[in-house]
Amino acid sequence: MKHIITIQHTQSVHHTNGMVGSWTDWDLTELGKTQADKIGKKLSEELGESLKDKNFVIYSSDLIRAKQTAEAVAKYFDITPIFKQELRERNLGRCCGKSVQWLRENIECPEKTVDDKLFSDGESKRDAWNRLKPFFDSVMNSEYEIIVIVSHGGLLCHFNAMFLGMPVESLNNGDIHGLSGGVSHFIVSDDGKHFVKRISDMSYITC
């Protein structure tokens, strides 16, 4: 059996100042740091004895807000996160470093399909999917039994769809979206069946 836990990074400065997240590096707010610490504490209490004799790993996006979330969680397990560029949020190109208002006023191409790009120098949803897919496949095929993944809202939407065996084109119609600080639990049984136990559980940051 494989137990995969995904964490959407906690409150970041860009959640409070009206700026675009994407590939811009933002720190966590003080609240975000407290939320990340709560997630780590509660997860360590939940997993407890189940970690004994299990192969365990924490992966994280290398963007600061995700790194800080992962490091706060990892200290409870005395483990060093492995940082992966593949887990970054979708690159929105030239609007990085700009405000959300600027983004809305300067969109080059409205997103109607997974192949559209808001800005020509950014990624489409398909581009981000293709960036994530090799990492997803490596996780599914790895020997790790408990895997924690810290990433961003857009990328975790893709992960959720991949886990359910949905094609990238399914994102033309909708996605499985979470919230900042949400924790999701996925199980792969010994016979290869995929089970979603919890999606974007917010109790970790409110307890």
Q: What is the mean pLDDT of residues 45-56?
A: 83
Q: Which pLDDT does position 89 carry in this prediction?
A: 98
Q: What is the mean pLDDT of residues 112-123?
A: 97
Kindly indicate the confidence band of residue 56, based on its pLDDT and cuts at 50, 70 and 90.
very high
Rounded to whole angstroms, what are the CA distances from 77 to 60, 194, 202? 15, 26, 21
Asked whether the predicted pLDDT for residue 52 surpasses 80, the reply is no
Average pLDDT across the chain, whole number: 96
Separation of first and last alpha carbons in the chain: 28
Q: Which pLDDT does position 92 carry in this prediction?
A: 97
Torsion of Cα atoms, 161 then 58 then 37 then 45, to 10°? 90
Contacts of 84 (CB under 8 A, 6+ apart): 59, 60, 61, 62, 135
Q: Which pLDDT does position 204 carry in this prediction?
A: 97
Q: Which pLDDT does position 96 carry in this prediction?
A: 96
Asked whether the predicted pLDDT for residue 207 surpasses 90, the reply is no
Kindly indicate the confidence band of residue 53, based on its pLDDT and cuts at 50, 70 and 90.
confident
Asked whether the predicted pLDDT for residue 50 surpasses 80, the reply is no
Q: Which pLDDT does position 177 carry in this prediction?
A: 92
Find how far residue 59's CA is from the centre of its chain: 10
pTM beyond cutoff 0.85: yes
126, 154 Cβ separation under 8 angstroms: no
Q: Which pLDDT does position 9 carry in this prediction?
A: 98
For residue 51, count other CB atoms closer than 10 A to its CB: 14
Q: What is the C-alpha to C-alpha distance for residues 48 and 4, in angstroms, rounded to an integer?
A: 15
Q: What is the C-alpha to C-alpha distance for residues 31 and 12, in angstroms, rounded to an integer?
A: 9
Counting every residue, how long is the chain?
207
Kindly indicate the confidence band of residue 51, based on its pLDDT and cuts at 50, 70 and 90.
confident
Q: pLDDT for 25-47, tens place per residue? A: 999 999 999 999 999 999 999 99
Q: What is the mean pLDDT of residues 109-133?
A: 97
Find how far residue 48's CA is from the centre of its chain: 23
Q: pLDDT for 69-108, tens place per residue? A: 999 999 999 999 999 999 999 999 999 999 999 999 999 9
Closest CA to 205 of 28, 26, 14, 61: 28
Kindly indicate the confidence band of residue 120, based on its pLDDT and cuts at 50, 70 and 90.
very high
Asked whether the predicted pLDDT for residue 136 surpasses 80, the reply is yes
Q: What is the mean pLDDT of residues 175-197?
A: 96
